[in-house]
């Protein structure tokens, strides 16, 4: 809500609270599924309660059903039935519940999205990332289990392929970037693993880091 409060998880409900940087106030939007996943509870997404049968919001296991699908349009968070997120009763008050309601575009229905690396939150920046499963900023090789002599390599500064392992070869080394949470190349530090054609392909390459779903991978 545009009054200094942010969405937080409180039990089975969503409420607005003052920003404190905890993971219950941080979310990941998955562009392919249109779901808003909790950073605190991986594989749990924002959902209209009771499979969409009432107005209250909760977090539930991600199922990709319509009642878990949302878009951000001109300051409104809109579900598949055209209802928008609003703070109940138009009250800018800590602990007030967040619901879905028919759009009237009042202040209690308008939201400002701030991305994690810029909002002062405590998103994980070191150690093994609890969501992505890799050690942040630590170079690694990606070995093939089909042939233990082969590892992923950047070819020609663009394509990914498996090649015979060569010790200390930077084009075969990658790391999980702390800010974008994408897998970057040690040899080409501005480039991240990427599904070609903005995800509409089965081919893998590296390209400029954009932090979109086709560049996000978990181990």
Shared domain for 149 and 215, answered yes or no, is yes
Final residue of a domain: which of 74, 89, 118?
Answer: 118
Final residue before a domain boundary, out of 101, 118, 135: 118
- The boundaries of the domain holding residue 210 are 124-219
Residue 117 clears pLDDT 60, i.e. is over it: no
* Phi, psi dihedrals of residue 107, rounded to the nearest 5°: -60, -30
How does pLDDT run across 21-43, given as a tens digit for each residue?
788 998 988 877 899 999 888 88
Compute the distance between CA of residue 159 and CA of residue 170 in angstroms, rounded to an integer: 15
pTM over 0.75: no
Comparing 28-37, 92-101, 200-209, the range with the smallest average pLDDT is: 28-37
Do both 13 and 111 map to the same domain? Answer: yes
**Are 95 and 166 contained in the same domain?**
no
Together in a domain, 211 and 161 = yes
Give residue 124's pLDDT.
65
Which of 90, 118, 146 marks a domain boundary? 118
137 & 60 share domain: no
- Do 77 and 47 lie in a common domain? yes
- pLDDT, position 118: 41
Residues 95 and 141 in one domain: no
Please state, in angstroms and as integers, the Cα–Cα distance from residue 211 to each residue in 71, 117, 162, 172, 178, following that order: 17, 11, 24, 21, 12
10 and 54 together in one domain:
yes
Tokens representing 124?
Answer: 């994980």
Are both 19 and 105 inside the same structural domain?
Answer: yes
- Tally of CA atoms within 13 A in the half-sphere of 141 that contains its CB: 17
Query: Are 75 and 10 within one domain?
Result: yes
13 and 106 belong to one structural domain: yes
Number of domains in the chain: 2
Domain CATH for 107: 2.80.10.50
Same domain for 164 and 182: yes
């Amino acid at each position: 809500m545009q009054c200094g409060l942010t969405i937080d998880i409180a039990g089975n409900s969503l409420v607005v609270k003052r920003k404190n940087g905890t993971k219950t106030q941080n979310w990941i939007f998955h562009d392919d599924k249109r779901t808003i996943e909790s950073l605190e509870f991986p594989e749990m997404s924002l959902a209209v309660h009771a499979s969409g049968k009432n107005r209250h919001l909760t977090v539930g296991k991600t199922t990709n059903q319509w009642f878990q699908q949302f878009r951000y349009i001109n300051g409104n968070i809109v579900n598949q039935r055209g209802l928008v997120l609003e703070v109940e009763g138009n009250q800018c008050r800590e602990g007030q519940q967040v619901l879905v309601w028919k759009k009237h575009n009042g202040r209690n229905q308008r939201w400002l999205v701030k991305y994690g690396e810029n909002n002062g939150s405590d998103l994980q920046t070191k150690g093994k990332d609890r969501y992505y499963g890799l050690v942040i900023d630590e170079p690694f090789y990606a070995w093939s289990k089909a042939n233990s002599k082969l590892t992923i390599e950047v070819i020609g500064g663009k394509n990914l392929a498996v090649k015979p392992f060569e010790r200390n070869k930077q084009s075969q080394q990658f790391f999980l970037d702390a800010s974008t949470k994408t897998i970057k190349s040690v040899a080409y530090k501005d480039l991240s693993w990427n599904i070609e054609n903005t995800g509409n392909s089965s081919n893998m390459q590296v390209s400029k880091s954009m932090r979109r779903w086709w560049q996000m991978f978990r181990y």
